[in-house]
């Protein structure tokens, strides 16, 4: 299903990054995808199921969270962090700033697992 990805700050992300980015609590706050209830129904998933988000820059597995903040279907929110950045591009259109809100993506249910901080760091190091 096609969707627009927004990234941003959440209070949990803001607090837990101050403690440790290797902690389970940080991963739980950041490796999530907040979605509109109608979109989740259309995908046939429920709160806490895993979803795979794919853009032309990469893909990442996240935990779907139903959110009343996402009032319009077709939009999903991923907190700032390593996971969101797996699917963001680095083209800045001459401004120095990549597009980090409103990125077109595909979203689908998956059996795949959510990567840990260590997994993602290793994948950065070894390509």
Lookup: tokens for 82: 């390593």
* Of the residues 27, 45, 51, 120, which one makes contact with another protein according to CB under 8 A: 120
Identify the residue among 102, 108, 112, 119 touching another protein (CB under 8 A): 102
Q: In the complex, what is the shortest distance from the CB of residue 83 to another protein, in angstroms, rounded to a whole number?
A: 9
3-state secondary structure 5-46: EEEECCHHHHHHCCCCCCCHHHHHHHCEEEECHHHHHHHCCC
SS3 content of the chain, % helix, strand, coil (to 5): 25, 30, 45
Nearer to another protein, 43 or 99 (CB): 99
81 is a contact residue toward another protein (CB under 8 A): yes
Binding site for another protein (CB under 8 A): 4, 6-11, 14-23, 57-58, 68-72, 75, 77, 80-82, 85-86, 88-102, 117-118, 120-121, 124-125, 127
């Amino acid at each position: 299903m096609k969707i627009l990805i927004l990234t941003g700050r959440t209070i949990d992300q803001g607090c837990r990054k101050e403690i440790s980015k290797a902690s389970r609590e940080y991963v739980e706050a950041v490796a999530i995808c907040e979605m509109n209830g109608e979109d989740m129904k259309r995908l046939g998933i429920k709160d806490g199921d895993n979803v795979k988000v794919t853009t032309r820059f990469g893909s990442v597995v996240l935990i779907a969270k139903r959110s009343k903040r996402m009032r319009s279907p077709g939009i999903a929110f991923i907190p700032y962090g390593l996971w969101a950045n797996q699917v963001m591009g680095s083209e800045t259109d001459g401004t120095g700033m990549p597009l980090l809100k409103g990125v077109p993506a595909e979203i689908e249910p998956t059996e795949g697992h959510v990567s840990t901080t260590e997994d993602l760091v290793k994948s950065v190091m070894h390509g």
